[in-house]
Structure 1
Amino acid sequence: MEKEMEVLSNQNLEEKEADFHAIRIVEGESNWSTLMEKKRKQKPRLLRKSEGNISCCIFRVPQSLVEINKKAYQPHIVSIGPYHHGKVHLKMIQEHKWRLLDTLIARTENQGVCLDDYFKAIASKEESIRECYSEAIDLNSNEFVEMMVLDGCFIVEILCIVGKIVQNDPKDPIFNMRWVFPFLMRDLLRLENQIPFFVLQTLFDMYMTSLDKEGPSLAQLALDSFDYVTERPTEVLQRYYNVKAVHLLDLFRLSFIPQSKGSNEKNYLRDGMKDSVSTTIPSAQRLHVAGIKFKPRKSDSISLLDIKFDNGVLEIPPLAIDDSISSFFLNCVAFEQCYSDCSKHITSYTTFMSCLIRKPSDVGFLSDQNVIENDFGTDKEIVRFFSNISKDVPFDFQQSYLFKLFEDVNEHCRNKWHVRWADFKYTYFNTPWSFISALAATFLLVLTMIQAFFAIYAYVLPLSPH
């Protein structure tokens, strides 16, 4: 009986305890709030608050873009700046940086400008330089300034050699080995491989002043050196010698932005158009079937991005696509996605090209029209490139400098008369044989009509009164 009472009392106790939530206070856990306080106050290091500032202009490429084409964003032989600093596979050129720095200092020391002067000039700007990077840099002050001086002087010396400001050692392996220089110049135009332009300008000004020489500006030297990619005439490049750039990639990007009227980016959307806006156009071959003619816009004064559509004719400056220009496009698109204080011209252009090029046959057609020169690979590889470059890229089409062109092209395609007339010409006048067949059919039709006329006339004439 006592055992039964004990069991019942235990059951009642368990039922009562079930109505409450047990709270355990464990010794040592009272400092959680202190730990949480530290974490709440800790500043982000990988995506800092300063990234929203105009001063922040050097970014890690978004992971979504890296996954599509990692090789396009990683330096192959030289590191510039902190993001790839110290990587083993870049050691070869890292050793040559010291050699070129020694050569540079040897020239300026005689004029009273020594290595300490360069270090002091950059050290005074350290805080501003760090603010240019989207990530916190894990280098102390001495290491950071040393890296900036070494990398900056390396670039200045390279540009002065290419621009023939100074004489180069003919046995210099950087210039003597043909494979090194193109890879080096390509690496200098990668987004993650940049240092602020004002760092280069500071070092360049000190260098040129010490040499007591009057020569081209830093922007001119850089544009002339990098233009081996597109080989534009001097009269085109000189328009951009005074542009304000945040780094070398931005400088070269700006030199492609058209200066013609109507090329600026703004909101082109008119009232009542919001529901009818199309963010794409048909492929090159479909546009051809719709009656649109393609014409290479050849002129020494025309920018690569200066595309024109008028009276059913789409004029596109010829594009010679190779590894260098494709790498440049990819890094420009990444930069335009990250930096809020720049236009999206390259993104607009590559989006336009990705619309035109959907199939290998589109590449072949544009090549036949002298719009594209394929130095990149197979036609299929070009299709894949333009398809990938527009993937996972947020893009406000209403702000694009090509918005009106897209609207005009789509309006042309919506006009059924244009499509039917183009289809008629394609069917009957596409080849000499189809033209001859159509002409013969027309001739037979006319003869048949004449024969019918005289047959009727001969039948009706006898019945007529004389």
Structure 2
Amino acid sequence: MPSNMNHQSHVITIIDQEVENMTAQMKESPKLLHKSAGKSSCCIFRLPQSLVEINKEAYQPRIVSIGPYHYGNKNLEMIQEHKWRFLNDMITRTGKPLGFFMKIIVSLEDRIRECYSESIDRFGTNYLAKMMVLDGVFLIELFRKVGKLVSTQQDDPIFKLSWISPFLMRDLLRIENQIPFFVLKRLFEESKTSGDRTLQSLILEFFNYMVDRKPEVLKKCENLDGKHLLDFYRKSFIHTKKVTPRASNNNDKTLKLIRPATKLVNVGVKFKANYQADSFLDIEFQNGLLLIPQINMDDFHSSFFMNCMAFEQCYSSCTKDITTYVVFMGCLMSTSTDVSLLSHNKIIENYFGTDKEIAKFFKNVGKDVAFDIKTHYLKDLFVELNEYCKNGWHVGWAGFKHTYFESPWAAISALAAFMLLSLAALQTVYTVFPYYHKHD
């Protein structure tokens, strides 16, 4: 009996210890996905592995770390060292002490921490402030130097080495590589000189080296806000897209994804590049003509699309316009033949690789994406296009043309058959006509 009692006592002690550990763990806040990650204030996300696996290179910074998620990465130290030089340039120019900017960021600490989905408690108050000042000033000075508002050293390697620029521009628009936009705006305002333009105009001019947009289009975006740099640049395309009012159509039977480009052509749809559009989101369908803005498919656009989509998937308090666009283009480009058709019509400028690689990209990027077909901005266009594809004489005529006029030999054969039928009909008329004329 004493032995059993000792055993029971030991078991109870172990259970009590485990209960104590479990109780403590219940009170701990989740770190990898913070409990406040669903709030609208949380806008900078560490991506789940399911998204990262699609294309690791699209989300991982290659030469520069911005913010806490990739801070201290040994592979990113080269540009990290230049941040101190940029900070010194700003301090020297403004005459304001470093402590002045540090105190500003410390006062914003709680707001900053609420922006990140993953706990950044490992960074204390001063360390977090140092990171935000260093990264924020680096971005602001970079935009000012490119915008020629401040002088640049003649042989500055950041600007002289041609390989740095494209990597840098892609890195600054990665979802895990962000700091809050309000930090940028505050640091910009406090370091502003009389000749400065707006922060937004400098950002747009900076990225215009990669995506050439008309000055009047950029002007529309100068008062835009954003959660961070990626969100601001994403919004600049959404803000400038043309919204075409359409009659409400609740025909759920035609509210479905659209067919690939080659199949649309077979039922009479024509494609045309829209060179006048303010945004690549300006897609229109008019009487059988699908107007799509020309897009350069390259490493910048593919990275930008994927990071915008990741942001829209993670952040519930934003529209899903970029996701809609990518799903739409993915529907059109199911195969390399579809890509070739769009390239032939000047809608796709292919700097990405082969037609097959572009089709594969859109297929992969649209995989497992949450997409609500009933609420997206192209909903009415999907309905109109699907209705056009199943109704009217143009579908039969398009099928006839596809069957008999797809190649020159098919056209010649069809013409020969038509002439034989015509001659046979005429022969019948001339044979029958004298008979009836004789018996009149």
TM-score bracket for the superposition, by shorter chain length = over 0.9
Equivalent pair of 2:149/2:195 in contact (CA under 8 Å): no
Q: Deviations over 1:40-98 (max 9, x none)?
A: 11111111122111111100122211011011000000000000000000010011111
The answer to whether residue 135 in structure 2 is matched with residue 151 in structure 1 is: yes
Q: CA deviation at 1:277?
A: 5.3
Which residue, out of 295, 310, 315, partners 2:272?
A: 295
Give the aligned length.
Answer: 430
Gaps of 5+ in 2: 1-6
**Is the contact between residue 255 and residue 379 of structure 2 (CA under 8 Å) also seen in structure 1?**
no
Whether 2:49 is the aligned partner of 1:63: answer yes
Q: Which amino acid aligns with 1:131?
A: E
CA-based RMSD of the aligned residues comes to: 2.0
Query: After superposition, where does 1:29-428 map in structure 2 within 5 Å?
Result: 29=14, 30-109=16-95, 113-137=96-120, 138-208=122-192, 211=193, 213-257=194-238, 258-262=240-244, 270=250, 273-274=251-252, 276=253, 278-299=255-276, 301-415=277-391, 417-428=393-404
In structure 1, C-alpha distance between the alignment counterparts of 2:200 and 2:48, rounded to whole Å: 28
TM-score, length-normalised on structure 1? 0.88
Task: Work out whether residues 336 and 347 of structure 1, in 8 Å CA contact, stay in contact via their aligned partners in 2.
Answer: yes
Asked which structure has the greater CA Rg, the reply is: 1
Q: Describe the superposition over 1:188-219 as per-residue Cα deviations: whole angstroms up to 9, x where unpaired.
A: 000000000010001111111xx3x1332101
* Matched letter for residue 195 of structure 2: E
- Partner letter of residue 181 of structure 1? S
AA aligned opposite 2:269: I
- Do the aligned residues in 2 keep the contact of 1:298 with 1:318 (CA within 8 Å)? yes
Report the alpha carbon displacement of residue 416 of structure 1 after superposing the two structures with TM. Answer: 6.2
Q: Which residues of structure 1 form unaligned runs of 5+?
A: 1-22
Q: For 1:88 and 1:262, how far apart are their aligned partners in 2? A: 49
Q: 2-side partners of 1:32 and 1:441: how far apart?
A: 88
The answer (yes or no) to whether the contact 1:64–1:392 under 8 Å persists in 2 is no
In structure 2, C-alpha distance between the alignment counterparts of 1:241 and 1:356, rounded to whole Å = 33
State which drifts further: 436-445 or 176-185: 436-445
**3-state DSSP of counterpart to 2:368:** coil
How far apart, in 2, do the equivalents of 1:291 and 1:36 lie? 65
8 Å CA contact 2:254–2:387 kept in 1: the answer is no
What is the rounded CA distance, in whole Å, between the counterparts of 1:433 and 1:45 in structure 2?
68
Cα gap change, 1:122/1:178 in structure 2, threshold over 3 Å: closer, same or farther? same
What amino acid is aligned across from residue 409 of structure 1 in structure 2?
A: L
Determine helix, strand or coil for the equivalent of 1:57.
coil
Q: Percent identity?
A: 49
Q: SS at the partner of 1:28? A: helix
1:404 and 1:460 mapped to 2: Cα distance? 60
